[in-house]
Amino acid sequence: MKRRVVVIGAGAAGTMAAIFAATGGADTVLIERTRDGGRKILISGGGRCNVLPARLDESRFVTDSSPNTLRKIVRAWPLAEQKLFFENEVGISLEEEVESAKMFPSSHKARDVRDGLLALATRRGVELRMETLVTGIVREDNRWAVHTTTDAPIIADAVIVATGGLSVPNTGSDGTGLRILERLGHTLHPTYAALTPITSNDPVFAELSGISFSVTLDARGAGRDAKASGGFLFTHRGYSGPSALNVSHVLVRSRLENANPPAVLRVQWTDLDEAAWDTRLRPEKGGHGTRQVSTVVRNELPDRLSAVLLAQAQVDPTRTLAELTREERRRLIDTLVRGVLPWNGDEGYKKAEVMGGGVPLAEIDPRTMQSKRHAGLFLCGEVLDAFGPIGGYNFLWAWVTGRAAGTSAASFST
């Protein structure tokens, strides 16, 4: 008799889990509360879906659990094999966006990814039950009873919880799975919005809304730190872009924990380091130093931002390099290389790409994703305490953990 596996949540991790559970021979039911599933896939990458990173740096994942455990999980399905799976099994060719080291479907349509995964699940024999809300799961006589709002309880040999976290709640992520897992005895590392825009009430920077370019940001506070280089955008509410999102978790946690002092956000506005700027801001040998300081700074940065930074450093923009004092040069270099960006909050889960925190990795078997609290209960995706940076890392986490959970659930026996 076939084992029955119920997967809760038809997002990235859940759909992958269902595909591999069915591939492993299980009678698989995929339950989804929305009418279509995979809504975070649809909105990812500006509607293009950054399926995978082109290259993987395991150290860029963030977790309060064991980094060694996380590495074991990630290495279970090598990046090259994942790419082949999408191309050969799902039928979606991928191409690298070289400047960002991201892999996108060649069609650049996120819908092709979502629809391709669900179509593969159906071809493998997965039963889809959309617009069905799970209210609880109960262990009964060595099997599981999955209670929903629409049907009689579904009896299963194994259940996979792939309900996502709390980010972008209008896609269906409302924390239902986290609450179910807590009722079953799992603990949760504190949850928080991650990869979310940063807010600021500084009126000077607010006037720069719409300006975008590349920077390096460094966030430090409450014993945590994060550094990221890449795109940066001034918004009317603060800061966004990959570099800002990738360090935002340090600021979010500082705020949630009422850290005193709060985390500090510093910025290196260009690729030029302290020594390079020191050279640029000195008169050229044999020259008369008649170039204005503002001209040198504007050669590297947008005009409006240059004016703001010169004002912050208290340097007269009409001053020539020859007239620049040692103290003024020091202040300006500090501003350009390690300036402080004022912040007062974040956009929270509404704009967060992922949730940080969740079920500790110590509470699952890293080889199978099976709960150490309950036999036949498997966890994958965002409910687990790990997330990666912008660039396909969080889909990779969903694919890896979903595959492991589905494969293991299909072969599970009491």
Q: Which domain holds residue 249?
A: 197-346
302 HSE (CA, 13 A, CB side): 16
Contacts of 169 (CB under 8 A, 6+ apart): 349, 350
Residues 266 and 254 in one domain: yes
Residues 201 and 181 in one domain: no
Residues 89 and 34 in one domain: yes
Residues 236 and 365 in one domain: no
User: pLDDT tens digits for 221-279?
Assistant: 989 999 999 999 999 999 999 999 999 999 999 999 999 999 999 999 999 999 999 99
Q: What distance in Å separates the CA atoms of residue 148 and residue 154, rounded to the nearest whole number?
A: 8
Residues 182 and 83 in one domain: yes
Q: Provide the number of structural domains found in the chain.
A: 2
Helix, strand, or coil (residue 396): helix
Query: Which CATH number fits the domain that encloses residue 368?
Result: 3.50.50.60
Alpha helices, H only, 100-185: 110-123, 176-183
Residues 234 and 284 in one domain: yes
DSSP state for residue 86 in the 8-state scheme = I
Residues 44 and 103 in one domain: yes
Residues 150 and 213 in one domain: no
Residue 261, preceding peptide bond in cis (omega within 30° of 0)? yes
Residues 186 and 292 in one domain: no
Q: What distance in Å separates the CA atoms of residue 91 and residue 119, rounded to the nearest whole number?
A: 10
DSSP state for residue 170 in the 8-state scheme = G
Residues 139 and 21 in one domain: yes
Residues 154 and 233 in one domain: no
Boundary (domain end) residue, out of 346, 373, 398: 346
CA distances from 361 to 71, 138, 289, 369 (A): 11, 22, 60, 9
Boundary (domain end) residue, out of 321, 346, 371: 346
Residues 230 and 141 in one domain: no
Q: Within 10 Å of residue 261's Cβ, how many Cβ atoms? A: 8
pTM of the model: 0.95
Q: Looking at the DSSP assignment, which residues form a beta bridge with residue 102?
A: 53, 97
Q: Within 10 Å of residue 347's Cβ, how many Cβ atoms? A: 19
**What is the reported pLDDT for 290?**
84
**What is the reported pLDDT for 196?**
97
As averages over each run of 10 residues, the pLDDT of the chain (414 residues) reads 94 98 98 94 93 97 98 98 98 95 96 98 98 94 93 94 87 85 96 97 93 97 95 97 98 96 98 96 74 95 96 95 96 98 96 96 98 98 97 98 98 82
**What is the reported pLDDT for 288?**
57
Q: What distance in Å separates the CA atoms of residue 384 and residue 165, rounded to the nearest whole number?
A: 9
